[in-house]
Structure 1
Amino acid sequence: MSAVRTVLGDVPPGELGVCDAHDHLFFGSPRLPGQELRSVAAARAELVAFRAQGGGAVVQWTPYGLGRRAADLPPLSRETGVHVVAATGLHQAVHYDEDALKGLRGRLADVFVAELAEGIGASGVRAGLVKVAGGFHALDAHARWTMTAAAEAHHATGATIAVHLELGTGALDVLDLLCGELGVPPCRVVLGHLNRSPDLVVHRQAADSGCYLAFDGPSHAHHATDWRMPDAVRALADAGFGDRLLLGADTTTAAARSVGGGPGMPYLLRRVRPRLVHAVGEDLVGRILMENPGRAFAVEWS
């Protein structure tokens, strides 16, 4: 039986409800000094606000070494009634110091598998996906290393691989590596940040592979592309790929949270959802938020 691995255990995909398929409750990087998502109280308030808008599940893409606070996730999920999925994986090299990366050489896939099958550190919380990252229109040696380890972890466990596309670029190179060279089924790959590069031809080519395409935001840094997202979603839906689309809020800084004065998780349902309903209809938006995430993240765990 396929199941989504949440921080409280495996659940049938139909139990997720309305899902924010790409977000962060906790996140910290030296690239964003002073904007770390560390507050448990703020994370709780954000989940409560998301729940009040009808939200039922959040997939946290925060990977290894970037402040996941895995032990805090189960109580937050219980207290708010929102399913939470945690991630293993590794981000771009710029988010880590060299010593941290050296300590993972030769054992990265083993770390991913252990966090998926046994738990993150001493928390006992099992990850439900692997998050890795590409570069700007290219894959450097670090990306190839992490994606190779992610593919090994997929083959060992069945886990879905979610990919940060830098500025929305490099989708086809990622698919060539993961699905071509490394043998990961496209239906087990989620490409993130497609809205940041609104190239409808590349979107169509990526969708043709059978992978999932995640549109996330709104984004302060990439706001100029936000308004084009409904057109991209409509183009993919018109081409028959409505069942491959995902939506997320991708809250990465404290200022971006709704409880910090930003749009945050609730904005996805309060404003993005009705805007998309206007573009593609209520039925499709409902499926994107409620059915597609279950298929994207539910696997037959081994």
Structure 2
Amino acid sequence: MTGEPRVRTVRGDVAPSSLEVCDAHDHLFFASRQLAGQELDDAAAAGAELRAFAAAGGRTVVQWTPFGLNRRAADLAALSEATGVHVVAATGFHRAEHYPADVLDRVSDRLAEIFVADLLDGIPAGDDPDAERTGPRAGLIKVAGGFHVVDRHARWTMVAAAQAHQETGAPIAVHLELGTAAREVADLLCGELAVPPSRVILGHLNRNPDLRVLREVADTGVFLGFDGPSRANHATDWRVTDLLFELATSGHTGQLLLGGDTTTAAARLSSGGGPGIPYLLTTLRPRLVRALGEDVVQAMLVSNPARAFAARWRR
């Protein structure tokens, strides 16, 4: 891997500074049997979300939808072109319960190979790993931990993610189940599997607001993702400001990331629900600026994502 770090978007590689204001964790398309009837599968609605985000000052959305969950990669590229918003797509694999057994069987012995192909050659049509790779290239690897543990499935996907990272340099983003097992995931990826902490992003940390654990995880050097700010039932809105303040004043400002994590049609503003992707900038950002200051919020939305999602790609 050579050259300057670049962020791999669905319209090609760009300089990290091009990201500007970034929603570091969201979904324009997503479909899981765990959320039947709430699929994000409407390109027009996704476009409306992107335009509203852009109108609020947003310039980049990182989609964490992994393999097999309706990535719609070709549509991502078209929407990015139409709206002028950078979009980063993901490869990777979610918790086992999101997939039918036949999908798990089909990829069981070649997960790392699929990740590498998505990152270097392009996402295949219809998300079929054996189809022609006509879509844009993925720019990150998304995997998932178990509830309070790194279970067998999580370890399998994280070993594959680490292998793909070593081959490509891609960052690894981790869904933490209800925000748990953060330290265990960091220890596995950055310890046993030797992934540099600067290449690891832990998501959903706001869902388990244990400040002692957060400080321990922050000390490992990984990026810390706080996302889904509208979900009061996940202890977010009323605690996230305090958590971010404590981490920033403890010297971890440079590791903090913010995202919206819109995963259902009911959470999409353009479909008559809400608050949608724009909420991150229209509501949460001014609240955080008042509490933390402009410099801290600028780091979370601009300078930190530029480092977190950049890589020295093999090709």
2:217 is equivalent to residue 214 of structure 1? no
User: Alpha-carbon deviation of 1:223?
Assistant: 4.3
Q: Alignment length, in residue pairs?
A: 302
Alignment of 1:185-204 (within 5 A): 185-204=196-215
Cα separation, 1, equivalents of 2:217 and 2:235:
22
Q: C-alpha deviations, 1:75-95, integer Å up to 9, x for none?
A: 100100100000000000000
Partner SS state of residue 257, structure 2: strand
For residues 104 and 243 of structure 1, the distance between their equivalents in structure 2, rounded to whole angstroms, comes to: 36
Contact 2:203–2:226 under 8 Å retained in 1:
yes
Is 2:179 the counterpart of 1:168? yes
User: Contact conserved, 1:196 with 1:226, CA < 8 A, in 2?
Assistant: no
Residue 150 (structure 1) aligned with residue 161 (structure 2): yes
On the 8 A contact 2:230/2:275 being kept in 1, the answer is no
- Asked whether 1:81 is paired with 2:93, we answer no
Secondary structure, in 3 states, of the residue corresponding to 2:62?
Answer: strand
**1:156-177: CA deviations, max 9, x gaps?**
0000000000111100110111
Matched with 1:251 is 262
Task: Tell me the amino acid that sits aligned with residue 303 of structure 2.
Answer: E
CA deviation vs aligned residue, 1:109-149 (integer Å, no higher than 9, x gap): 00000000000003331000000000110011110000000
CA deviation vs aligned residue, 1:235-263 (integer Å, no higher than 9, x gap): 00000100100000000001101112211
Residue 282 of structure 1 deviates from its aligned partner by: 0.8
Instruction: Tell whether 2:291 aligns with 1:288.
Output: no
1:44 corresponds to which residue? 47
- Residues in 1 aligned to 2:155 and 2:233: alpha-carbon distance in whole angstroms: 26
Match of 2:129 in 1: none
TM (normalized to structure 2)?
0.94
Gap runs ≥5 in structure 1:
none
Counterparts of 1:14-33 in structure 2 under 5 Å?
Answer: 14-33=17-36
The answer on whether the counterparts of 1:195 and 1:226 sit within 8 Å (CA) in structure 2 is no
Q: What is the aligned-residue identity percentage?
A: 65
Match of 2:68 among 52, 65, 68: 65
Provide the residue aligned with 2:58 in structure 1: 55
Structure 2: tracts of 5 or more residues without a match: 125-132
Deviations 1:40-91 (A, max 9, x none): 0000000000000000000000000000001111110010010000000000
SS in 2 for 1:54: coil
Contact 2:231 2:237 in 1 (8 A): no
CA contact (8 A) 2:228 2:259 kept: yes
1-structure distance, mates of 2:61, 2:159: 26
Considering only aligned residues, what root-mean-square deviation do their CA atoms show, in Å?
Answer: 0.9
Note if 1:99 corresponds to 2:111.
Answer: no
Output the CA distance in 2 between the equivalents of 1:168 and 1:275.
23
Moved more, 118-127 or 12-21: 118-127
Take 1:106 and 1:32, find their aligned partners in 2: how far apart are those partners?
27
Shift of 1:17: 1.1
* Residue 111 of structure 1: aligned partner: 114
